[in-house]
Amino acid sequence: MRKVQITGWGMSVPEKVMTNAEIEKLVDTSDEWIKSRSGISERRICGDEESVATMAIEAGKRAIERARIDPAEIDLVILATLTDARLLPSTAAYVQEGVGARRAGAFDLDCACTGFIAGLGVAAQFIATGAMQKILVIGADAVSRILDWTDRGTCVLFGDGAGAVVVEAGDEGIPLSLYLRNDGSAANALTVPSPMGVRSELPANREFVITMDGPAIFRFAVEAMVDAAREVCDRSGIALDDFDLVIPHQANLRIIQAAARALKVPMDKVYTNVERYGNTSGGSIPLALAEAVDAGRIKKGDRILLVGFGAGMSWGALTLEWTAETASARLSEIPLAAATA
C-alpha cells in the first residue's frame, strides 16, 4: 500500500474575537471562572457574511496553494463538520465549487469533534488503494450557531474555525496509522436536536442548541484520549516518546493536561491553542495542525500524533510523519487563488 503524505495545509477563522469579558455581559460568569475551568480566554465568532462554507473555502484554498497544485487536480473534497448551513445539499458541494476543484467528488462527514481524524483516515484509504491521487480534507464548524447563549456551561467553551490539508500518495514517511472507536450508549451526553426529529422530542421553544453533561464529558474525554493514543501507538509500532508533537482536540485545557499526565507526555510536546479559539469541533485539530506548522513547531521528518474525542461518543487517533518542506511554503510567499465562493 502506498504511503500518504500531507503536501498542503491552511486555516481560517472569523474576524470577530469574543473575549471572556464580553461573555460576562451575557451570562453569570467571569474571566477567572472560564479560564480556571477551560483555559479559554477568547474565541472567534462568525459574522453574518461568514459560515462553515466560507471558512472551509479559505482554509482549502490556502492548503491547495501550499501544495502548489492546480485545484482541478483534486479528486475529492471531504468536509468534516456538524454545522451544515443546509440540510441539502452538503456543504462540501459549495466548498468544492469555492476552491475551484471542478473535477472532484465531494461529501460531508459528521463525526463531531473526531471528524477530521475520521476524514483523514478515509482519505488515506482512497489514496493507499490507488482509487484517488489528491484529496482535500477540511475540518470546519460554526458552533456559535448552535449555542444557547444563556447557558454558561456551554457557551463559554466553543468557537468557530476551520483547518484543511491536501493529502497525496508519496514515497516518504511512515505509513499512516488510524484508530477509531464509538460508544453509542453515551450518545445523549452531548447532543443537538434536529427539526427533522420526532415531534414529541422537539424542544418546545424550537431552539436547536447544544445540551451537554459536562462532568460526564470530562471523564469520558480523558479516558478516551489516553486509550486512543496508546492504541494507535501499538498499531504504528512507534513509542509515544518517539513522537515530536502531539496535537489533541482543543476542547478544554484541563482535559488536555489530564490526558498528558496520564500518558506521561510533557506539555512542551503538546500543541495547544484552545486559549485563543476555544473548541471549534471539526475545525479544532486541523486548525491547530496548520497553526503549529506555521509557528515552526513542525518540520520535515517530524512524527505527529493527532488524538481527539467527540459526540457520539466518538474517539480516535492518527499517526503520520511530516514530509512537506515548511520553510519554502510560507503563505506570505504564495498568493491566494482567485476562485470565488
Residues noted as catalytic: 113, 249, 279
Which residues are CB-neighbours of 204 under 8 A, at least 6 positions away?
A: none
> What is the distance between the alpha carbons of residues 138 and 136, in angstroms, rounded to a whole number?
7
Question: Cβ distance 58 to 337 under 8 Å?
Answer: no
How many CB atoms are located within 10 Å of the residue 204 CB?
Answer: 5
Strands 314-321 and 177-182 come out as antiparallel
> What is the distance between the alpha carbons of residues 207 and 311, in angstroms, rounded to a whole number?
19
Cα dihedral 11, 14, 16, 18 sign? negative
Which residues are CB-neighbours of 33 under 8 A, at least 6 positions away?
A: none
Specify the DSSP element, H or E, that contains 229: helix 214-236
How many CB atoms are located within 10 Å of the residue 295 CB?
Answer: 10
User: Cα–Cα distances in Å, from 254 out to 28, 89, 161, 218?
Assistant: 21, 37, 21, 9
All three cell numbers of 48: 453574518
All three cell numbers of 287: 486548525
Closest CA to 308 of 29, 61, 36, 117: 117
Q: Read off the amino acid at residue 112.
A: A
Specify the DSSP element, H or E, that contains 48: none
> What is the distance between the alpha carbons of residues 208 and 67, in angstroms, rounded to a whole number?
38
Chain-centre distance of CA 219, in angstroms? 21
Strands 76-80 and 177-182 come out as unpaired
